[in-house]
Amino acid sequence: MTAWNEDTEAGAAESGSVTVLEGSSFCISAGTGDISSDGGTNGAFFQDTRIISHWVLRVNGSLREPLSAQRPKPFEATFVGRAKWPDGRFDSPLVVRQVRHIGPGLQDDITLENYSAEPVECEVELLVAADQADLFDVKGGRIPATHETTRSVRDGQLVIENVRDGQQRGTAVRARGADVSLDGLRFRASIPARGKWTTSVIVVPLINGQAPAEAFTETGIPHHREGVRRHRHWEQNVPLITVADANLQVTLNRSQSDLGSLRIFDPHHPERAAVAAGAPWFMALFGRDSILSSYMSLMVDPKLAAGTLQTLAGLQGTKVDLDSEEEPGRIPHEVRLGVTAGLAVGGTAYYGTADATPLFAALVGELSRWGLSKDVVQPLLPHVDRALEWIDQYGDRDGDGFVEYLRPNTHGLVNQGWKDSWDGINFADGTMAEAPIALCEVQAYVYGAYVGRSLLAHWDGDRDLESHWAKRAEDLKAAFNEKFWLPEKGYFAVALDKDKRPVDACTSNMGHCLWMGIVDEDKAPSVVEHLMSPQMFTGWGIRTLGSDMGAYNPVSYHNGSVWPHDSALVATGLMRYGFVEEARLLATGILDAAEHFDGRLPELFCGFDRGEFEGPVPYPTACSPQAWAAAAPIQLIRALLRFDPVYTRGVVHLAPILPEDMGDFQAANVLLDTSRITIRAHGTGGSIDGLPPGLKMLAEPRPHLAYPPQAYPA
C-alpha cells in the first residue's frame, strides 16, 4: 500500500492540456480534444474513477490538424481542427468541431463541415478505452498490472466494465447511426457540398450497472442540466466588481468564476454548496482547504462557507478508527468516492489533519459576525463544541495545552498541517522534525476557535461560557508566546517537535499567527521584519521557507515556493497588526503575479526572486483552477479595503488603503445578512450603500477579536 503522504502533489498534466469540470466530474484532454492511453493522467473522471482513458477521433484514417481549443464555460470546451480530405489534398476544406460537455458522464457533439463545392464521403472512427482506474492510481502513475476490463457490445452501445473491491464500475458509449465494435464507434458520413454532418457521442458511467441521475441523453439539451443552471445562477448572483485597473478586473472576474466552477453539492442536501480544493485532482471536499477557501470567499458568497461547514458537520468524527484516523469530533481532511479510496485513506473519508477541526470552529464564529442568521449558525454550535472537545481529548495528545499530530498507522499523512508533504517541516539546518509535532499556525487556529466560541456565547447572552472560552484563549496565547518564540532569532518556531524542541526554521506559517491574532503586540514588528525580508519576500509573494534555510529549494512544493493563499493570509495578518505598507506591498506583489498567469493564480509557483525572471516561474504540477488560489485575490481586496463586518456588535468596518494606481473600486450585490450592499472605495476613502437597519459603518480598521472587546460596549 502506498503511503498517503507520498502523493500530496498533483500529477503533471500534459502541456497544452484542456480541463473541463462540473462538480466532482472532470475531463483532461490534449488540445485537440483527444485522450491518449499512454499511461498519462489524461481522461474523463466520474466519482474518482476514470471512465474514459482513451478517446481518439480519426477522420479518413488520420488525426485532425488542431486549429483551436476554447473553454467558454468551466464545464464545456470546443475543439476545432482540420480533417484530411479523402484524396489527401493539401489545404483540406473539411473542418471538425467537437463540443465537449462534462457532468454525470460526457457528451461530445461532433460536426464535420464541408467548405468544398463538391460532396464528400468520410470514414469517421472513435477509438475508446475505459480502464476504470481509481483517481489515486492515475494521479500516482500506478495502474495495477492486474487491472483488467471486460468489453461487450450490448443494446447498440460499447460497455466497458471492471470489478474491484466488490464494486462494478463501467462505461457505456453510444451514438445514433454508429457501427459499434469492441474498440470503438465508426460512422460513414455523407457530407453535401457546403454542408454539415453531425453526431452526438454519449458516455454514461455505470456503478453496479446503474447510470447516474441526469446522465446525458440524445434528447436532452446539455445546457439545461442542473449543473449548468447552478453555474448560471452563481454568475447572476455574485457581486459585480468593477475596478479601474483592467488587469485586476480580469483577475477578480476569473476568481469569482473559478470559485463557482469548484463548487460541489451533497446529493442528500442539494441546496448546500461546498467548495472543492482544486482541479483537476482535488475535486473533492477537503476540510482545511475548503474551510480556508470559503473564508477567503466571504465577500463573494458567505453561503459557500455555510454550505461547507454544514457538509463537514455531517462528516464529523464519531468513533476512533486508526485506519482512517477518525476520532470523535474531528473534522475530516478529505472525502473520496473511488473504489480503492478505502485502501488509501481507510474509507471514503480520511481524518488525518490537525488544523481542520479548530478552523471549523473559528469559521462558525466568523459567520456569526458576517451576519448569517441564527438559523444557520445555531445548528452548528453542537458541532463546534464537539470540535473543541476533540482539541482537548485527542488533539492535545500530552496535555501541555498545544495540539499535536502523530499518525497512528503506516499509510496516513506524516505531516498533518497545510504543509503536508513528507519533508514539509524541518529545522533551520534542514533536519526534518519528528512527530508528535505541534505546528505554530495550528495553535493560532485553536486560539481563533476559542475566541470565536467566546464571542458566540456573548451573542447568546451566556456570560459564563463567554468568560470560560475567553480565559482559554488568553491562557493559550500566553503559553504560545512563551514556548514558540525564539528570542535569539526574533521570530516564532514553525513547530515543537517530539521532544518539545522549537523547530527553528523561518517559515511563512507564523504569518497565519498574525492573521489569527495570537502574536503579542511587542513581537509583531520583528515577525513582520522577517516575513518581509529578502529571504522570505520574493517580490511576488512570501516564500514558504526562507532562502537562507537548510532545506530551501525554490522549486519545492513546501520548502521555498510561493502559495498565493498563504501570502493572502499573511497579508491579512500584517493588516491586522497595523503594518499597512507591508500589507499593501505584499498584496500588490501577488496581484501582479496573477497578471502573468492570465488572471488565474495557480496553486503555487516557484520561489525565485522577482528580479531573476520577467515573471513568476510556474510550478510544474500546480493545480489550476485551485480554490484557495482563486479566493486569494478576493481576500487580498477585502484586506486592502479593511472591510470587516461585526454583525453581532452592530458595526461594519471599512477603512480602505487601496493603491492609488488601482483607481476607483466598487463591489455591488455583496451579501450581508439578507441585504445586498454596495461598497465603494478609492485610496483611503470608502462608503457602503444599502446597509441593513441597525448596522453602522465605522471608518476605522477592526480591532483584534480579543476579550474583553474594548472597542465595543459590552
pLDDT tens, position by position, 50-90: 999 999 999 999 999 999 999 888 899 999 999 999 988 77
Which whole number is the average pLDDT over 433-454? 97
Query: Residue 29 in contact with residue 112, Cβ under 8 Å?
Result: no
Residue 539 has pLDDT above 80, yes or no: yes
Which whole number is the average pLDDT over 550-566? 98
Match 494606481 to its residue by C-alpha cell: 661
Which whole number is the average pLDDT over 449-467? 94
Q: What is the pLDDT of residue 76?
A: 93
Which whole number is the average pLDDT over 177-196? 96
Higher pLDDT, 543 or 345: 543
Q: What is the pLDDT of residue 706?
A: 60
Q: How far is CA 679 from CA 654, 656, 666, 684, in A?
A: 9, 11, 6, 13
Dihedral of CA 489/490/491/497: which sign?
positive
Residue 712 has pLDDT above 70, yes or no: no
Higher pLDDT, 233 or 613: 613
pLDDT tens, position by position, 426-436: 999 999 999 99
229: confidence class by pLDDT, cuts 50, 70, 90: confident
Rounded distance, CA 288 to CA 277, Å?
9
- Average per-residue pLDDT for the chain: 91
* β-strand pairing of 696-698 with 651-654: parallel
Name the amino acid, one letter, at 121. Answer: E
Contacts of 654 (CB under 8 A, 6+ apart): 641, 642, 643, 679, 681, 686, 687, 688, 697, 698, 699
Contacts of 186 (CB under 8 A, 6+ apart): 123, 124, 125, 126, 178, 179
Q: What is the pLDDT of residue 365?
A: 93
Which whole number is the average pLDDT over 210-239? 86
Instruction: Check whether the bond before 436 is cis (ω within 30° of 0).
Output: yes
Residue 201 has pLDDT above 60, yes or no: yes
Rounded distance, CA 358 to CA 366, Å?
13
Q: What is the pLDDT of residue 268?
A: 81
Residue 341 has pLDDT above 50, yes or no: no
Residue 345 has pLDDT above 50, yes or no: no
Share of the chain above pLDDT 90, in %: 77
pLDDT tens, position by position, 323-337: 999 999 999 999 876
How far from the centroid of its chain's Cα atoms is residue 172's Cα? Answer: 31
Q: What is the pLDDT of residue 142?
A: 73
Q: What is the pLDDT of residue 160?
A: 96
pLDDT tens, position by position, 378-408: 999 999 999 999 999 999 999 999 999 999 9
4: confidence class by pLDDT, cuts 50, 70, 90: very low
**pTM exceeding the 0.85 threshold for the entire prediction:** yes
Q: What is the pLDDT of residue 1?
A: 34
Identify the weakest region by mean pLDDT among 35-44, 156-165, 334-343: 334-343
DSSP sequence for 238-296: S-EEEES-HHHHHHHHHHHHHHHHTEEEETTEEEEEEEEEETTTEEEEBHHHHHHHHHH
Residue 689 has pLDDT above 80, yes or no: yes
Which whole number is the average pLDDT over 624-643? 96
Q: What is the pLDDT of residue 707?
A: 47
714: confidence class by pLDDT, cuts 50, 70, 90: very low
